[in-house]
């Protein structure tokens, strides 16, 4: 299969920041944007300029700071929104106006209170105005996965005719399943894009825990841009996790013939920077960047990892920017891991001593959740400690 390059559109500073408790001030957004550029994302969505003065200034600041990446600004298909986005991007080296409009009947009836004919006209006029202000225009059909497919394709065709260079098919409420989404992307590619030089983008939410799976399925269907966030932050249950999507493509390159521009060794540092800025850490068992992602407590696993990390790790910690795997000592640990840690601490035991030490360790681990180096030293017989010190 021919290998295609996937563009990574990061919306941590826009959709991610909309997650409760994840707001950032201007200097924090600029710091995060610098790190995203270092990470190698292709597009940074820096904000929604019409939403607030803070978002407007953030888009301006990121545009000034990040010159080797595309900077996108979000807006509705409304003249004032589009003009505000264009003004915020005025000094960007590579600007993109990202305009959106809902296409599902439930949104048309209850939110927009518009007819299908009115929405078609709004899409065409909005994209035309945006294209007058920027050579790169992305159009998003909000709630695409709950839209009538024929009408969705009509709206996307109108946007394409008006000059949209990227068509985004969002799973706004995290409703779709991978096979459905793959089929939808293929339909859009066949009925709307055809031979035109227009990219298909996807933006998945994680309400059913399927955002990354759906993004991968969409790539198989013909999408060439994936919208995601660091640590998967975002509205409700969040967005597709950037680090999970990228490492899925990297580790399973045998089945996913795609490339990307991400420096994977910057994934963990980027995750830690975001967590420190928003004071919102990832869960310990979070894939790729959680503190337990490369930690092993079960004795069988520890023995395997000490013999060869590939026994239980499908990627190296170093490949995502973590210094090494972590052998966590607890009641499930085996003697191989225990003795390896003692070796690191400078203790060497004969067979009988090792057996006695392991018995003491198991008794302690049954009473204590966390076993520290001080605890290990404390259960070593005094004469052995003295010999080690000498």
Q: What dihedral angle (degrees, nearest 10) is formed by the CA atoms of 334, 335, 337, 339?
A: 170
Residue range 37-64: average pLDDT?
97
**Is 286 within a domain?**
no
Cβ(214)–Cβ(240) below 8 Å: yes
Does residue 152 register a pLDDT over 60?
yes
Q: Which residue's entry shows tokens 């709630």?
A: 143
Host domain of residue 14: 4-278
pLDDT for the residue 296: 46
Q: Are residues 132 and 41 in the same domain?
A: yes
Q: Are residues 213 and 151 in the same domain?
A: yes
Does residue 303 register a pLDDT over 60?
no
pLDDT tens sequence across 183-230: 999 999 999 999 999 999 999 999 999 999 999 999 999 999 999 999
**Is 288 within a domain?**
no
Does residue 162 register a pLDDT over 90?
yes
**Is 358 within a domain?**
yes
Q: Are residues 195 and 263 in the same domain?
A: yes
Binned at pLDDT 50, 70 and 90, residue 280 comes out as confident
Q: Are residues 331 and 208 in the same domain?
A: no
Binned at pLDDT 50, 70 and 90, residue 239 comes out as very high
Q: At what angle do helices 267-278 and 26-39 cross, to 10 degrees?
A: 170
Binned at pLDDT 50, 70 and 90, residue 66 comes out as very high
**Is 283 within a domain?**
no
Q: Are residues 96 and 147 in the same domain?
A: yes
**Is 27 within a domain?**
yes
Share the mean pLDDT of the chain: 90
Cβ(321)–Cβ(269) below 8 Å: yes
Binned at pLDDT 50, 70 and 90, residue 85 comes out as very high
**Is 284 within a domain?**
no
User: Of 102, 179, 157, 166, which Cα lies nearest the Cα of 137?
Assistant: 166
Q: Are residues 356 and 309 in the same domain?
A: yes
Q: Kindly state the DSSP code that residue 152 receives in the 8-state scheme.
A: H
Q: Are residues 250 and 304 in the same domain?
A: no
Q: Are residues 132 and 18 in the same domain?
A: yes
Domain boundary (278, 310, 342) is at 278
Does residue 389 register a pLDDT over 70?
no
pLDDT for the residue 388: 55
pLDDT for the residue 336: 84
Residue range 87-107: average pLDDT?
98
- Specify the CATH number for the domain of residue 135: 3.20.20.70
Does residue 305 register a pLDDT over 50?
no
Does residue 240 register a pLDDT over 50?
yes
Q: Are residues 346 and 253 in the same domain?
A: no
Q: Are residues 242 and 318 in the same domain?
A: no
Number of folded domains that form the chain: 2
């Amino acid at each position: 299969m021919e290998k295609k390059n996937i563009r990574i559109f990061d919306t941590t500073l826009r959709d991610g920041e909309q997650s409760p408790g994840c707001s950032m001030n201007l200097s924090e957004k600029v710091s995060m944007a610098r790190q995203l550029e270092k990470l190698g994302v292709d597009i940074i969505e820096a904000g929604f300029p019409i939403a607030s003065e803070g978002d407007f200034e953030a888009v301006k600041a990121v545009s000034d700071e990040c010159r080797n990446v595309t900077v996108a600004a979000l807006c509705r298909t409304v003249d004032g929104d589009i003009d505000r986005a264009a003004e915020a991007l005025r000094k960007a080296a590579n600007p993109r106006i990202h305009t959106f409009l809902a296409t599902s009947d439930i949104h048309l009836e209850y939110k927009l209170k518009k007819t299908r004919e009115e929405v078609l006209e709004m899409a065409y006029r909005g994209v035309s105005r945006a294209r007058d202000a920027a050579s790169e225009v992305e159009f998003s059909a909000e709630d695409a996965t709950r839209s009538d497919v024929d009408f969705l394709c009509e709206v996307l065709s109108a946007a394409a005719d008006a000059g949209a260079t990227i068509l985004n098919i969002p799973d706004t409420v995290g409703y779709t399943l991978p096979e459905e989404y793959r089929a939808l992307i293929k339909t859009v590619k066949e009925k709307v894009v055809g031979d035109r030089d227009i990219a298909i983008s996807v933006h998945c939410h994680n309400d059913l825990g399927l955002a990354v799976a759906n993004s991968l399925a969409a790539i198989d269907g013909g999408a060439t841009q994936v919208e995601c966030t660091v640590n998967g932050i975002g509205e409700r249950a969040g967005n597709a996790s950037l680090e999970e999507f990228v490492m899925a493509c990297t580790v399973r390159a045998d089945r996913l013939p795609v490339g990307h521009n991400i420096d994977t060794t910057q994934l963990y540092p980027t995750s830690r920077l975001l967590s420190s800025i928003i004071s919102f850490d990832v869960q310990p068992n979070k894939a790729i960047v959680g503190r337990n992602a490369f930690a092993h407590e079960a004795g069988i696993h520890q023995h395997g990892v000490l013999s060869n990390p590939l026994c239980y790790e499908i990627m190296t910690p170093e490949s995502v920017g973590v210094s090494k795997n972590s052998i966590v000592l607890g009641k499930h640990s085996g003697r191989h891991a225990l003795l390896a840690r003692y070796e690191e601490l400078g203790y060497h035991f004969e067979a009988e001593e090792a057996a006695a030490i392991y018995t003491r360790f198991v008794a302690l681990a049954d009473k204590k959740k966390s076993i520290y180096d001080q605890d290990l030293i404390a259960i070593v017989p005094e004469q052995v400690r003295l010999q080690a010190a000498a």
